[in-house]
Structure 1
């Protein structure tokens, strides 16, 4: 993962794929900000929305699926209900059977240059459903093509996640 200073300098332009999420009353905790578990839920949601839309993933029946190998979140400032979060997704590393995603969370309406509120890192290891092991040939070619498209900035999407959740 990048250094804390590098992560704090992230802007929306660093993320080719973005989705919006309208925070809910239930997202806040007793400290009057969005609970840390909700960040992970949102990061997982933006990753899976991308995989379903651009990589051919169909979670109930795809012959391959991801296993979560690692998660980390760097929190820089809070967001709370009733704000809208903008979630940015990029690929920071793509291996034979593993992919490292980076997700930035921004507050909508904060302006193009507003500071990132949090940055998460998720690592998926892709396995065959029947064996629960990575394929010796690596990940599915359609999956890899979608991930490479995101990594290389060829896939960009800006639509609302709120309608999907």
Structure 2
């Protein structure tokens, strides 16, 4: 099964954290579905909500903060106003100073995933803008470990 086919089979149970978002009229584009750029805003929002609520991140003052190093999104079907989106979050890889997130967007009440994104944060020191030699702080790491999902071994 290809990577994209595997992503299409994602279910809410594959993700430890869920955040609801009520779509807005202004999220739709002229094609009457949510504009692609809104997905990135939502993915960023669910990640930062988790970091603030469960990892002790306080954006204006935290000594370490995340810088986006990579984003990617696979779109499978559209969602539009006035639907409610469910943003589901997991961590696929956790390194010394970086984390690879996977975010899935579902429509409330619909089983099939609408889109799956991958985002990479590198946590840097606020002053130097470089990764800390000791990596991310323990509160960040412990919070992110709660989202870590071990990948299944390949069945070749």
TM-score (norm 1): 0.88
**Deviation, structure 1 residue 9:** 0.5
1:149 match: 146
* Equivalent residue number for residue 13 of structure 1: 13
In the alignment, what sits opposite 1:103?
103
**What residue ranges of structure 2 are gaps of 5+ in the alignment?**
151-156
CA apart distance, 1:150 = 1.6
- Secondary structure of the structure 2 residue equivalent to 1:71: strand
Query: Are 2:121 and 1:124 aligned?
Result: yes
Trace 1:1-165 onto structure 2 (pairs within 5 A): 3-110=3-110, 114-151=111-148
Question: Partners in 1 of 2:13 and 2:67 — Cα distance?
Answer: 29
Could you tell me how far apart the structure 2 residues matched to 1:152 and 1:124 are? 17
Q: Is the 8 A contact 2:92 2:149 kept in 1?
A: no
Q: Residues 16-40 of structure 1: CA distance to partner in whole angstroms, max 9, x if unpaired? A: 1001000000000000000000000
Secondary structure of the corresponding residue to residue 106 of structure 1? strand
Aligned-partner SS, 2:147: helix
Q: Secondary structure at the match of 1:120?
A: strand
Secondary structure of 1:93's aligned partner: strand
Measure, in 1, the Cα distance between the counterparts of 2:119 and 2:126. Answer: 20
**Separation (CA, whole Å) in 1 of partners of 2:136 and 2:60:** 18
Q: Which residue of 2 aligns with 1:158?
A: none
CA separation in 2, counterparts of 1:136 and 1:10?
36
Counterparts of 2:61 and 2:67, CA distance in 1: 15
Structure 1: gaps (5+ residues): 154-165
Q: SS at the partner of 2:113?
A: coil
